[in-house]
Each structure stands twice: as structure tokens, then as C-alpha cells.
Amino acid sequence: MSKFFSLFTYTPWDNLNTKVLTEVKLLSLKNIIKTFPVIEPGFFDDLLSNMYNFKHYSWVECIKRIVGPDKEDYETAPWNLMWGMDRDGRIFQILVQKVKNELKDSQATLVALAPPELAKLFEKHKEGAILRTLTLLNNPKKMKFLMVLAPKGKSIAEEQQMLQINEKDLERVQFINTLKQMPNIKGHWFPTSELKCPICNGPLTQLYSNEVGLVCQQCGFKKVK
């Protein structure tokens, strides 16, 4: 059974429309070569250089969610999608997960790809097709354009988790405010530790006397030592 990764992104071709999320489905490399190939840092160093030097190489922060084959959500920070077209009109969509969040000086694993024609090429030629494809992507003369899609803020899953935490905090604050407004016995939240007069329930004041120890200011009751 084929396994797919789903990437949800704002549309970079529509002036980065932040009101529309587009799903991009990519076939897991484990369906093709049974493993996730490693891409060395040198490839990304060359890619960064091309983005600095050529206008048809670009970096767009637009990824909002990554969902794995088993419907698991990933943090988006270490993920990038390379999306390009060569001079012959062939489309390339390659999803990578970096070891470090930064693109520079980071290894990455090649996780998934599209379209199906590219998957068939990888299945037929294995590592040879991977090397040729990565070499092509970094050749400005042969590429019509190449966009590197990057995360934009926190993922939707992380935002929802934070919203749930914030809602719990709000509920806790509302509960505390409710408690503050509830009447307590005799209007006191905490019972006093003061000694009370057994006659009028007034406070007893200590006297430093040889005979009397406590006296009530209200009714005059005295407690002998």
C-alpha cells in the first residue's frame, strides 16, 4: 500500500494568499527505495548560493502543516519542499527533513516526492536518479525556476495545541475569579486564628498582668491565668 506525506501550504503562486491552504501530496521514499536517502550539506550550500545569485531561485515561508503516512502531525521547523521546473517543463517536488532547522550546514533526509513520473524514475534508477535530479536542481542554466518552501510560523497543529493550553489557562482564571466572588462564611475567605470571647464572640486581648491573661474589649469578660 502506497504511503503519502501531505503538506499544507499557503499559495506562493497567488501572492502568498494566507486565506487559502493548498494540500500537496507526496509519495514516501520508503515506497520506492525502502529507505530515506541522506543529502549532504554541500547541496544546500550550493542551493543557498543560487538563491542569492539568481532571481529564478527563491525562498518562500508558507508551510503550515506536515502530516505523515499514519496521520501523524510533525513540527514544521525542520522541513522544506523544493518545488521547481526545468527548461523541458518537468516538475519536481521534493520534501526534505533537515537535521538542523537552518538550511545552511545541515544534512537532510529525502523523505517524499512528486509527481508520479519522478517516482517512477527514482524506482527505476535508484541512487543514480537521486544524484542526477539533485544536480539538475542546482543548475541555474537548466532550471526555469526553483522555489524552496519553508515553514511560516508555528504549524497548525502547534497553534491548536497552544490554543487548547490558552483555553485551559482562561478557564482556570475564570474559575479563580468565580471563587473570589463567592460569599464565604461571615464574609471571610480564611478563618481567623484570633481567640474569641465565649460571651459575645468578640476578640480577646492579651493583658500582661499577674492575675488576668485575656480580656474582652466588648463585654469585659476576663480570662484568668
Q: What is the pLDDT of residue 165?
A: 45
Q: What is the pLDDT of residue 17?
A: 64
Is residue 132 within 8 Å of residue 138, measured between CB atoms?
Answer: no
Is residue 148 within 8 Å of residue 47, measured between CB atoms?
Answer: yes
Q: What is the pLDDT of residue 19?
A: 72
Using the structure block, give the residue that is written with the C-alpha cell 497553534. Answer: 159
Q: What is the pLDDT of residue 163?
A: 54
Nearest to 150 by CA among 104, 184, 190: 104
> What cell does 46 get?
550550493
The arithmetic mean of pLDDT across residues 156-170, rounded, is: 57
Q: Note the pTM of the prediction, 2 decimals.
A: 0.68
> What cell does 148 get?
524552496
Return d(Cα 137, Cα 2) in angstroms, integer: 26
Residues in the chain: 225
pLDDT interval class at 115 (50, 70, 90): very high
Q: What is the pLDDT of residue 178?
A: 57
pLDDT digits (tens, 9 = 90+) for 66-97: 999 999 989 898 999 999 999 999 999 999 99
pLDDT above 80: residue 11: no
Q: Where are the domains of the chain?
A: 4-156, 194-225
**H, E, C per residue of 2-21:** CCEEEEEEEECCCCCEEEEE
